Amino acid sequence: MTLEGNVVREGKTKILYKEKPGELIMEFKDSITAMNGRLKETIPGKGEVCSKITEIIFSHLEKNGVNTHFISRVSEKKLRVKELEMYPIEVVCRNIAFGSLLKRLPLRSGEELKRPVIEFYYKSDELGDPMLNEDHLAILGVSESEIKEIRGTTLKTNELLKELFRNAGLKLVDFKLEFGKYKSNILIGDEFSPDNFRAWLENRPVDKDLFRMGEGRDTVIKAYLEVLKRLEKVVN
């Protein structure tokens, strides 16, 4: 399939191509980045692994009543998805105290939270992805009803995936979601992979934190493959 002339948008780790009205082809690159793109590396095979994990997660969500933009697999690194009108926000759901949350609350690293913590961020590398409150969201054009629906979908997603990961022998620490509109319906977009979730295997990271910590390409791809293998075993 030749799509190179139909690029809609290219980001740090994915390329979106226009195929036909209302649909896009999402290609996963082998690149990995951190610190808003200041750290970059290429890891052969990563794009295929992330696309497969995304397919597993989105298929699981769809089967359980959570709407996503996923349609079907196209090739090793490409998925067909619905074209969404994206909200300019990222939604983070946290189950365990880790990362930036420790800078805001007096919690112990690794402490299980009494309830999931949901945070909203403005999607902007230039501004450093600042945290938003509901007044900020209103200024960005996100209504109270949309916030309520996005929050509810995030909480349902969390419950479904915590169980899925638990069955795979993994602990879902936190994750990031992006949302968009398709024919007036709010759907989960983007991807769901170790690039945008934290997961622990016996309290060791098997996600992009390994790259942030300075681990080499072999260690990172081995961890991503371990996540894929465990999720495939659970859903098959």
pLDDT digits (tens, 9 = 90+) for 192-208: 999 999 999 999 999 99
71 shares its domain with 113: no
62 shares its domain with 120: no
Confidence (pLDDT) at 200: 99
- Strand, helix or coil for residue 66: coil
Q: Decide if 231 is inside a domain.
A: no
Domain with 67, as residue range(s), is 4-82
- Going across the sheet that includes 14-20, the strands are 7-10, 14-20, 23-28, 78-82, 70-73
Per-residue pLDDT band at 3 (split at 50, 70, 90)? low
For residue 23, give the H/E element and its range: strand 23-28
Please state the rounded mean pLDDT for residues 169-178: 99
* Res 38 pLDDT > 80: no
* Res 1 pLDDT > 80: no
136 shares its domain with 38: no
* Res 147 pLDDT > 70: yes
Percentage of the chain surpassing pLDDT 90?
Answer: 92
* Res 231 pLDDT > 80: yes
Per-residue pLDDT band at 113 (split at 50, 70, 90)? very high
Please state the rounded mean pLDDT for residues 43-54: 98
Please state the rounded mean pLDDT for residues 85-113: 97
Confidence (pLDDT) at 236: 85
* Res 5 pLDDT > 90: no
- Give the closest residue to 174 by CA, choosing from 189, 147, 154, 191: 154
83: number of Cβ within 10 Å? 18
Q: Decide if 73 is inside a domain.
A: yes
Give the CB-side neighbour count of residue 59, counting CA atoms within 13 A: 15
- Strand, helix or coil for residue 114: strand
**pTM score:** 0.95
58 shares its domain with 107: no
Q: What region does 45 belong to: left with phi over 0, alpha with psi -120 to 50, or beta?
A: left
Q: Decide if 232 is inside a domain.
A: no
Tokens describing residue 35: 């610190």
For residue 207, give the H/E element and its range: none
Q: How far apart are CA 78 and CA 108, in angstroms?
A: 40
Q: Decide if 223 is inside a domain.
A: no
Confidence (pLDDT) at 120: 99
